[in-house]
């Protein structure tokens, strides 16, 4: 059965009513791209780039980063590779010499860190723009919580491209720029953020954590952690509607996308691209093939009228329980 699923990953993820979904892979280490390709992934929807910054005293050089990114692109010719800029601190790699923060996940994490350390950020942006000449790169920025952070990122991206041009490095200047929607303020401001970016990618791992004030890594509160909290579903709806109004595609790369039973919810919300761990790709593609989007849309309307996790779970189980 496992072998069948691995092969079936290469069948298209087309819904019963003929809508084609893109199912991509999440990776951390460059070599994981091979597993995504083997399982039938349509590209890389989330390349977490913290790994190269782990367990060392200095920062990786531009050339080193460029080589890593190029390695991934070489395995995925013609398919999108979404490189997420450094999501350092918080629960990920720690920057050396950083001051101890009492609440790192609410602290100088990800884009906040990068904007405070523009030299570190520009090194990564230059490496990405240089790698982008070898494939179909998208840039994804984590932990955006306000519009100014996107505008500052764009300015630094311009600066990185200018410096590459001046120094005569080959690079691709026009690269789609998207943001993670994983902080409630970004979800709420999605209509305004949509004017600033080329795509959204919803990070449910952090969005759930920050919406419900539940530490995603704390086992004492793990029983409270659920993508089916009605507040989370309403936020998702708010984001997908904003995206649709502004013609900004909405993707999902958080772990909610990797559970087959949630697929009808995500399709009903209008999400067109899912990115999941390599192992989950065939299963998610087969769940997509079992769903009718129009029915899923009506189902989501009913889900959104429920006010407790228990009611939502029950409705989901009775309607789509066989997708598990
Ligand atoms: C998320 O927050 O859902 C996400 C995909 O990012 P990470 O798990 O790397 O924080
Ligand atoms: Mg996150």
Residue 252: what pLDDT?
98
ipTM comes to 0.99
* Residue written as token pair 């041009």: 165
Residue 109: what pLDDT?
93
Tokens representing residue 208 in the block: 């759930």
CA angle 251, 84, 177 (to 5 degrees): 65
Residue pair 225/204 in contact (Cβ under 8 Å)? The answer is: no
Q: Does the CA dihedral 229-108-187-80 come out positive or negative?
A: negative
Which residues does residue 178 pair with via DSSP β-bridges, in sequence order?
140, 199
**Length of the chain measured in residues:** 324
Q: What is the pLDDT of residues 252-273, one digit of tens each?
A: 999 999 999 999 999 999 999 9
Q: What is the pLDDT of residues 128-156, one digit of tens each?
A: 999 999 999 999 999 999 999 999 999 99
Q: Among residues of the chain, what percentage have pLDDT more than 70?
A: 96
Parallel, antiparallel, or unpaired: how do β-strands 20-27 and 13-14 relate? antiparallel
Question: From the CA of 142, how far away is ligand 1's center (Å)?
Answer: 8
pLDDT at residue 214 greater than cutoff 70 = yes
> Which stretches does DSSP call E strand in the chain?
13-14, 20-27, 44-48, 80-84, 136-141, 177-181, 199-202, 250-252, 273-277
Which protein residues are within 6 Å of ligand 1, measured from CB?
Answer: 46, 48, 87, 182, 203-206, 253-254
How far apart CA 121 and CA 2 sit, in angstroms, is 41
Residue 4: what pLDDT?
62
How far apart CA 322 and CA 101 sit, in angstroms, is 45
* 206 in a labelled binding site: yes
How far apart CA 123 and CA 108 sit, in angstroms, is 19
pTM of the model: 0.96
Residue pair 285/40 in contact (Cβ under 8 Å)? The answer is: yes
Rounded to an integer, the average pLDDT of 199-211 is 98
Residue 128: what pLDDT?
98
Distinct helix (H) and strand (E) counts, the chain:
14, 9
Residue 96: what pLDDT?
64
Residue 131: what pLDDT?
98
SS3 261: helix
How far apart CA 73 and CA 127 sit, in angstroms, is 13
SS3 165: helix
Q: What is the pLDDT of residues 21-39, one digit of tens each?
A: 999 999 999 999 999 999 9
Rounded to an integer, the average pLDDT of 303-318 is 98
* Residue written as token pair 């609440």: 103
Q: Whose CA is nearest to atom 4 of ligand 1?
A: 203
Confidence of residue 18 (pLDDT cuts 50, 70, 90): very high
SS3 323: helix
Q: What is the pLDDT of residues 231-240, one digit of tens each?
A: 999 999 999 9
* 112 in a labelled binding site: no
Stretch among 9-13, 158-162, 253-257 having the lowest mean pLDDT: 9-13
CA 197 to chain centre: 14
Q: What is the pLDDT of residues 120-129, one digit of tens each?
A: 999 999 999 9
Q: Which atom of ligand 1 is nearest to the CA of 205?
A: 3
Question: From the CA of 167, how far away is ligand 1's center (Å)?
Answer: 35
pLDDT at residue 2 greater than cutoff 60 = no
Residue 58: what pLDDT?
87
Question: From the CA of 63, how far away is ligand 2's center (Å)?
Answer: 26
Q: What is the pLDDT of residues 67-109, one digit of tens each?
A: 999 999 999 999 999 999 999 887 766 776 567 888 889 999 9
| Ligand with smallest separation from the Cα of 255 | 1
Q: Among residues of the chain, what percentage have pLDDT more than 90?
A: 89
Tokens representing residue 104 in the block: 């790192």
List Cβ neighbours of 131 (8 Å cut-off, separation of 6 or more).
66, 69, 70, 73, 83, 137
Q: How does DSSP classify residue 172?
A: -
Residue 102: what pLDDT?
86
Q: Whose CA is nearest to atom 6 of ligand 1?
A: 203
Q: What is the pLDDT of residues 168-201, one digit of tens each?
A: 999 999 999 999 999 999 999 999 999 999 999 9
* 216 in a labelled binding site: yes
Mutate to test the pocket of ligand 1, among 86, 203, 276 (most ligand atoms within 8 A of CB): 203
CA 42 to chain centre: 14
User: Annotated catalytic sites, by residue?
Assistant: 253
Residue 98: what pLDDT?
60
């Amino acid at each position: 059965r496992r072998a069948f699923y691995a092969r079936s990953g290469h069948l298209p993820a087309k819904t019963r009513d003929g809508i084609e979904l893109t199912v991509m892979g999440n990776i951390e280490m460059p070599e994981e791209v091979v597993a995504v390709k083997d399982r039938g992934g349509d590209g890389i929807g989330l390349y977490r780039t913290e790994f190269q910054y782990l367990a060392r005293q200095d920062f990786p050089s531009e050339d080193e980063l460029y080589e890593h990114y190029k390695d991934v692109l070489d395995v995925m010719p013609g398919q999108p590779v979404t490189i997420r800029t450094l999501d350092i601190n918080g629960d990920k790699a720690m920057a050396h010499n950083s001051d101890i923060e009492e609440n790192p996940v609410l602290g100088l994490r990800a884009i906040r860190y990068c904007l405070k350390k523009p030299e570190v950020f520009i090194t990564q942006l230059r490496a990405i723009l240089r790698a982008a000449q070898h494939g179909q790169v998208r840039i994804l920025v984590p932990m955006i919580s306000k519009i100014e952070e996107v505008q500052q990122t764009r300015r630094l991206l311009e600066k990185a491209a200018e410096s590459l041009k001046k120094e005569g490095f080959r690079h691709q200047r026009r690269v789609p720029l998207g943001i993670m929607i994983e902080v409630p303020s970004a979800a709420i401001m999605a209509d305004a953020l949509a004017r600033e970016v080329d795509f959204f990618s919803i990070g449910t791992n952090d969005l759930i954590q920050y919406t419900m004030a539940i530490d995603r890594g704390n086992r004492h509160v793990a029983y409270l952690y659920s993508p089916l909290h009605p507040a989370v579903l309403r936020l998702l709806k708010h984001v997908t509607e904003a995206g649709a109004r502004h013609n900004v595609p909405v993707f999902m790369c958080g772990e909610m996308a990797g559970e087959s039973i949630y697929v009808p919810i995500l399709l009903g919300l209008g999400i067109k691209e899912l990115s999941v761990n390599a192992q989950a790709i065939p299963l998610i593609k087969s769940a997509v093939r079992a769903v009718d989007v129009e029915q899923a849309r009506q189902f989501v309307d009913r889900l959104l009228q429920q006010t407790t996790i228990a009611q939502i779970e029950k409705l989901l189980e009775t309607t789509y329980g066989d997708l598990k």
